[in-house]
């Protein structure tokens, strides 16, 4: 297969983005570079199944995400979970993407290490690997023994390189360390806003203007 006919490489990066901050966006850019992705779909959850429902509605969170991404190449706001009723299960989102992209596309679900530890508790966890690869963005200072159910789920799936991962459309597991580590959390940003403190340089300027004008998180 020549380069012009190579299957697309696409990642799904889900979350509440409550609100989106520069750490989210920097990670998305570096994920795209590390995996040589054609695009990263940033998918705001309407009803996150594994955490409390966000205080800001999904449409506003998606608007802030769009403002944050702006014209960044390769990053896209994907609102399919907002348009879908019920819990925002990753299996449903990946199945929808797989149907659009075709059987040979290299589809990746990226998630952080904390979420990875609970992967075996997700809805239809084995099906995640039928639909996509799983890429774990590691935190070097945060490693711990894996739960037994997770060990069973990932048995025989881990690969050591991007090249090996991308030899097949789905089914692999790769641990990835990104070059820029930002100790920024949406929880801390919300707390600062509630206290009336500055969030300058933690958020894209357009996102900061949007949420301050609407007094979100106050």
Alpha-carbon gap, residue 31 to 40, rounded angstroms? 8
Return the SS3 of 209: helix
Strand order from edge to edge, sheet including 173-176: 75-77, 39-44, 9-15, 106-112, 133-137, 173-176
CATH of the domain at 91: 3.40.50.620
Whether residue 140 is contained in a domain is answered as: yes
Whether residue 84 is contained in a domain is answered as: yes
What was the pLDDT predicted at 74?
98
pTM for the full model? 0.93
Whether residue 151 is contained in a domain is answered as: yes
- How many domains does the chain fold into? 1
Whether residue 145 is contained in a domain is answered as: yes
pLDDT tens figures, 32-80: 999 999 999 999 999 888 777 788 999 999 999 999 999 999 999 999 9
CB 166 within 8 A of CB 138: no
pLDDT tens figures, 171-204: 999 999 999 988 899 999 999 999 999 999 999 9
CB 204 within 8 A of CB 68: yes
Tell me 104's DSSP state. Answer: T
What was the pLDDT predicted at 1?
46
Alpha-carbon gap, residue 151 to 123, rounded angstroms? 17
Whether residue 1 is contained in a domain is answered as: no
Whether residue 2 is contained in a domain is answered as: no
Whether residue 12 is contained in a domain is answered as: yes
Host domain of residue 161: 7-213
Whether residue 218 is contained in a domain is answered as: no
* Residue 104, pLDDT above cutoff 50: yes
What was the pLDDT predicted at 139?
75
């Amino acid at each position: 297969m020549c380069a012009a006919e190579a299957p697309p490489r696409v990642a799904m990066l889900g979350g509440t983005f409550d609100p989106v901050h520069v750490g989210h966006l920097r990670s998305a850019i570096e994920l795209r570079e590390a995996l040589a992705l054609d695009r990263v779909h940033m998918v705001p959850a309407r009803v996150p199944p594994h955490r409390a429902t966000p205080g800001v509605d999904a449409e506003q969170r998606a608007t802030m995400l769009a403002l944050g991404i702006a014209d960044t190449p390769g990053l896209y706001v994907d609102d399919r979970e907002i348009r879908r009723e019920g819990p925002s299960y990753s299996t449903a989102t990946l199945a929808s993407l797989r149907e659009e992209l075709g059987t040979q596309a290299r589809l990746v679900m990226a998630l952080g290490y904390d979420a990875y530890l609970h992967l075996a508790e997700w809805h239809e966890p084995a099906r995640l690997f039928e639909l996509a690869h799983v890429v774990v963005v590691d935190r070097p200072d945060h490693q711990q023994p894996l739960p037994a159910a997770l060990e069973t789920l990932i048995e025989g799936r881990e690969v050591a390189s991007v090249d090996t991962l991308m030899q097949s459309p789905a089914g692999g597991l790769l641990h990835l360390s990104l070059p820029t580590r930002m100790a920024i959390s949406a929880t801390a940003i919300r707390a600062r806003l509630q206290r009336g403190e500055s969030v300058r340089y933690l958020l894209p300027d357009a996102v900061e203007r949007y949420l301050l004008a609407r007094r979100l998180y106050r």
